[in-house]
Amino acid sequence: MTAPIFTFREGAAPLLISFPHVGIQMPGDIAPRLVPEAHGLLDTDWHVDLLYDFAAELGASTLVAGYSRYVVDLNRPVNDANLYPGQAGTGLIPDVMFDGTPLYLPGQGPDDTEKAARVDTYWQPYHAQLRAELARLKARHGYALLWDAHSIAAEVPRLFDGRLPDLNLGSNAGASCAGAFADAVFRVAQASGYSAVLNGRFKGGHITRHYGQPAAHVHALQLELSQDTHLAPGLVPALDEGRCSRLRPVLCQMIATFLSSAAAHYAAG
């Protein structure tokens, strides 16, 4: 049975939470061509959607990717432009893992035709649903909010120096979200007891940058979590319920603040 490209749940609040990197499905024609190290899907945003199990209580819509970012990266632009010029990264159709290990066995990487087919099959439907939901929310409420949910290992030397803060909030340096909303959310993060930064190493990927248009009443924030905040130590990626029980209320308060800040602003006219 073919796995769904995404899972979508509609909510009543003016908020969509996107999970573009939690997918772990791998098409059968791709998996045998990967190097052994890649079969563990190490660069997955492991279990991040499960962290946000309060989303329905807040009335948020959710969009959860089904396929691995190794197939196509849903948080990269179709033209594969580098989102962080001068810094290492991975592309729209990745050919290396975060640590620089090649993804494919020699001579087994995708050609241009296969790359285009992956974009059509996986990238386009996810973004079509994302666009449609933001349009629905804006039509219903007069504005729409987008929260792009991510996680990454605390230390990835190829991508950043040292150890990443626990909570990495991004508004594309203020371009994707009203400053008052981002600042209010960031204050919650700062008061949480976790280390936090706004527009640090991760300012927001394609989803945040492309869809966040405050002048058009669509506000987008990205949160990149250090995986030390919620994963258990060890080789097998599993949630640590003790860590999660501390983190979830903070995430919930951050999102509730995003919602309340926007509601107050638009109610005031």
pLDDT exceeds cutoff 80 at 98: yes
- The arithmetic mean of pLDDT across residues 56-75, rounded, is 98
Residue 254 lies in a domain: yes
- Tokens representing residue 15 in the block: 């908020």
* Least confident interval from 82-91, 132-141, 179-188, 228-237: 82-91
User: Which of the four pLDDT bands, split at 50, 70 and 90, describes residue 156?
Assistant: confident
pLDDT at res. 1: 47
Residue 91 placed within a domain: yes
CATH number, domain of 244, equals 3.40.630.40
Calpha distance 110→104 (Å, rounded): 9
Spatial distance between the Cα atoms of 146 and 221, rounded to a whole number of angstroms: 6
Q: What is the pTM of this model?
A: 0.96
CA–CA dist 35, 152 (Å, integer): 21
Q: Which residues pair with 17 in a beta bridge?
A: 62, 147
Task: Classify residue 20: in a domain, yes or no.
Answer: yes
* Model pLDDT for residues 67-94, shown as the tens digit of each residue: 999 999 999 999 988 888 878 778 999 9
pLDDT tens digit sequence for 104-121: 999 999 999 999 999 999
Confidence check: pLDDT of 124 > 70: yes
Q: What is the pLDDT of residue 244?
A: 98
- State pLDDT tens for residues 168-179: 999 999 999 999
Neighbouring residues of 60: CB distance < 8 A, sequence distance ≥ 6: 11, 13, 15, 16, 17, 147, 255
Residue 162 above 90 pLDDT?
no
1 within a domain of the structure (yes/no): no
> Would you say residue 219 lies in a domain?
yes
Q: Could you tell me what percentage of the chain is helix, strand and coil, using 3-state DSSP and rounding each to the nearest 5?
A: 35, 20, 50
Q: Is the pLDDT of residue 246 over 80?
A: yes
238-267 burial by CB neighbour count: b if 16+ within 10 A, else e? ebbeebbeebbebbbebbbbbbebbeebee
User: How far is 265 from 126, CA to CA, in rounded Å?
Assistant: 30
Domain that holds residue 117: 6-268
Number of domains present in the structure of the chain: 1
